[in-house]
Amino acid sequence: MGILEKIAEIEHEISRTQKNKATEYHLGLLKAKLAKYRQQLLEPTGKGGAKGEGFDVMKSGDARVAMVGFPSVGKSTLLSSMTSTHSEAAGYEFTTLTCIPGVISYNGANIQLLDLPGIIEGASQGKGRGRQVISVAKTADLILMMLDAGKSDQQKMLLERELEAVGIRLNKKPPNIYVKQKKVGGVKFTNTVPLTHCNEKLIMTVLHEYKIFNADVIFREDCTVDEFIDVIQGNRVYMTCLYVYNKVDQISIEEVDRLARMPHHVVISCEMNLNMDYLLEKIWEYLALVRVYTKKPGNAPDLGPEDGIILRGGATIEHCCHALHRSIAAQLRYAIVWGTSTKFSPQRVGLHHKLDHEDVIQIVKK
């Protein structure tokens, strides 16, 4: 029996097992086995034949955004309208057969936008080059899930299921669980909050399935057994996702209003160029990028459209120094900052001061 048959068998067993106190250990064991088989499917150990053409696109710019979705939802049209890159768009499915990169210039940042081929149901098991598409999506900072506003919400659920199966968790935080394997001493289980989804016996069952017999396990929040399995696997990717509903010009205004009010949703029409500026604002917001300006002593700050340094949200003076030159951080005496990150303006700060969007910095060396 192959891995795909084993996965299908376990999924069938999970679907027909009633969820109650008596079956939670059995279900926990099945979920652990399912995660192991899916891992084997993604990382084959055997030597395969000749490899097909890959989707490796060199990472460039300040951030990377990947578009995923079913065929013919408007990914190529969106790429062509938001960037200077032309991606072939046509009325039939699978027009795009490889990964096409484009660059969005916004707020002085260069954001790389990837147009990936449409994925189909079963992509996580390798159908329709789905595994390559999903592996590229894992390297992105933000996923744009392109959906057809004229179709049912089933498309969103199917895409989420495919991404979940390969370890991509959308709009979720990593579970606050600490697991450290030891050589001896058995399993030591501690929880700092009351647990409603798991208990010690279920945790032991899952650990034994992974052949872990000596470990320290600390639950710092009330997590499910699926989240515990994610921590043991250790290769899960937690990403922000923006659900983009295209072709809103073909549906009623009530339906547009319903979709637009849902969390993490944006409604657009690529064909009629509707709401594209709002989509750009949301991409910037979800990437959490900040732009800071530099100032020489005695001179006015450089505030031109091409000036400024693009940093990730939560960046400090140290990150800014590294962006300028790797030797500056070691020579820094202090920095003077004007902007919203300071208690008063200007303020003298050290290496670990966090910066806000559009702060102005003057660096003073030793």
Residue by residue, what is the 3-state secondary structure of 276-289? Answer: HHHHHHHHHHHHCE
Phi-psi region of 83 (alpha: psi -120 to 50; beta: other; left: phi over 0): beta
Domain match, 77 and 107 both:
yes
In a domain, 53, yes or no: no
**Does residue 48 sit within a domain?**
no
- The residue out of 187, 207, 231 marking a domain boundary is 231
Give the pLDDT score at 242: 93
Q: Is residue 54 part of a domain?
A: no
pLDDT value of residue 266: 92
Q: Provide CB contacts within 8 A for 229, sequence distance 6+.
A: 31, 32, 35, 206
**One-letter-per-residue 3-state SS of 14-81:** HHHCCCCHHHHHHHHHHHHHHHHHHHHHHCCCCCCCCCCCCCCCCCCCCEEEEEEECCCCCHHHHHHH
Which residues span the domain enclosing 349?
Answer: 288-363
Distance CA(75)–CA(276), nearest Å, equals 13
Question: Is 123 in the same domain as 248?
Answer: yes
Mark which of 200, 215, 231 sits at the end of a domain. Answer: 231
134 and 258, same structural domain?
A: yes
Q: How far is CA 215 from the centre of its chain?
A: 29
Among 215, 231, 247, the domain-final residue is 231
Same domain, 146 and 179: no
- The 8-class DSSP code of residue 235 comes to -
pLDDT of 244: 92
The answer to the question of residue 103 being in a domain is yes
> Considering its fold, how many domains does the chain have in total?
3
CATH number at residue 265: 3.40.50.300
Q: Are strands 332-338 and 360-365 parallel, antiparallel or unpaired?
A: antiparallel
Same domain, 336 and 319: yes
Please count the other Cβ atoms lying within 10 Å of the Cβ belonging to residue 192: 9
In a domain, 90, yes or no: no
Residues 212 and 338 in one domain: no
**What letter represents residue 37's amino acid?**
Y
What's residue 56's pLDDT? Answer: 63
Evaluate whether 328 touches 349 at the Cβ level (below 8 Å): no
Amino acid at 185: G
Written as tens digits, the pLDDT of the chain (366 aa) is 677 788 888 888 888 888 877 788 788 888 888 888 877 776 654 444 444 445 667 777 888 998 888 887 888 888 888 887 776 665 555 555 677 788 888 888 888 888 877 766 665 555 655 567 777 778 888 999 888 888 888 888 888 888 887 788 888 898 999 999 988 888 899 989 998 888 888 888 888 888 889 999 999 999 888 888 888 888 888 989 999 999 888 889 998 899 889 999 999 988 888 888 999 999 999 998 889 998 888 888 888 777 888 888 888 999 999 988 888 888 889 999 999 989 988 899 988 999 998 899 999 888
- Evaluate whether residue 34 is within a structural domain: yes
Same domain for 199 and 341, yes or no, is no
- Give domain status of residue 50, yes or no: no
18 and 134 fall within a common domain: no
Residues 200 and 292 in one domain: no
138 lies in the same domain as 241: yes
Say if residue 240 is in the same domain as residue 102.
yes
In a domain, 91, yes or no: no
Q: Which residues pair with 293 in a beta bridge?
A: 360
Provide the CATH number for the domain around residue 359: 3.10.20.30
Say whether both 141 and 109 belong to one domain.
yes
